Amino acid sequence: MADGSYLGIQSLKGRVDEAEWQVRVELAALYRLVALFGWTDLIYTHISARVPGPEEHFLINPYGLYFDEITASSLVKVDLDGNILQAPAWNDSTGGDTEYGINPAGFTIHSAIHGARPDAKFVIHLHTADGIAVSAHKEGLLPLNQHSLTVLPRLAYHDYEGIALHLDERERLVADLGDKSLMLLRNHGTLALGPTAAHAFLGIHALERSATLQVRTLSAGRDGILLAPEHAQAEVRQQVANHRPDHAKLPWAGLLRRLARESPGYDA
């Protein structure tokens, strides 16, 4: 894995406050995890995180870097109007006049959610093959297995309107999302949000896993497929509604240790 160091980006450690730096490290870790799991679409998807504090600012990837190149210092800080407040700074000897903006479609999607959902500290949007396949399925995600049953109570849908370049789509996306934490963007991809990096990652993992299982299950056709019994579906819905995991006990530390071993440099 690349560690981004060849880009010559100046470190922001000690130049932003400790709370922001920690969020930067965790967001960079999410980018590296997505790369490790093979969920990237070159440079065309995005993960964001709200910057701690009263201002409605968030961090997102510079448009043009691969996910395995993202570091804590390379993230771009923007406000809800799309103004770039802080961009990566390059060392004179390696960076020159190179500048990266942000993905306009990424801004539309992420600014919509950060502006409407204070609990959305981290937002992940992906274009995986299986996620897109299920997003285009007329029936959406089916109750085929235990994975999908845990996802369905948290899942919303948003109809495709083309590449998300029009800011007026934000209102419709937020309305469709409601109070859910997972979303299938029809004909487009998957989305997860959470109050912590761990929550967002585990949410997208569950949604992506459910999509892959559905694609495999339906590969032989729809006939003869068993849907989970309705009483079992109801039981899982109740269990999901009653389950409020302790964020601190989620296995984020273990994922970070894996990153330290397999994708060094994300915390630079």
Whether residue 200 contacts residue 33, with contact meaning beta carbons closer than 8 Å, is answered with no
* 9 found inside a domain: no
- CATH code at position 139: 3.40.225.10
Whether residue 171 has pLDDT greater than 60: yes
* 2 found inside a domain: no
Q: What is the pLDDT of residue 6?
A: 53
Whether residue 165 has pLDDT greater than 50: yes
Whether residue 173 contacts residue 259, with contact meaning beta carbons closer than 8 Å, is answered with no
* 46 found inside a domain: yes
The CA distance from 263 to 35, in Å, is 9
pLDDT in tens, 14-64: 899 999 999 999 999 999 999 999 999 999 999 999 999 989 999 999 988
The CA distance from 72 to 199, in Å, is 19
Whether residue 128 contacts residue 211, with contact meaning beta carbons closer than 8 Å, is answered with yes
Residue 95 confidence class, pLDDT cut points 50, 70, 90: very low
Mean pLDDT of 92-98: 47
Mean pLDDT of 124-151: 96
* 268 found inside a domain: no
* 11 found inside a domain: no
Q: What is the pLDDT of residue 104?
A: 86
* 6 found inside a domain: no
Q: What percent of the chain has pLDDT over 90?
A: 63
Mean pLDDT of 165-190: 93
The distance of Cα 169 from the centroid of its chain, to the nearest Å, equals 19
The amino acid at 230: E
Q: What is the pLDDT of residue 210?
A: 98
Mean pLDDT of 109-119: 94
Residue scoring higher pLDDT (164 or 7): 164
The CA distance from 14 to 196, in Å, is 23
Q: What is the pLDDT of residue 52?
A: 94
Residue 10 confidence class, pLDDT cut points 50, 70, 90: confident
pLDDT in tens, 204-258: 999 999 999 999 999 988 888 999 999 999 999 898 888 776 766 777 878 888 8
Q: pTM for the full model?
A: 0.91
* 235 found inside a domain: yes
* 4 found inside a domain: no
For residue 251, give its domain range: 18-262
Whether residue 7 has pLDDT greater than 80: no
* Tally of domains within the chain: 1
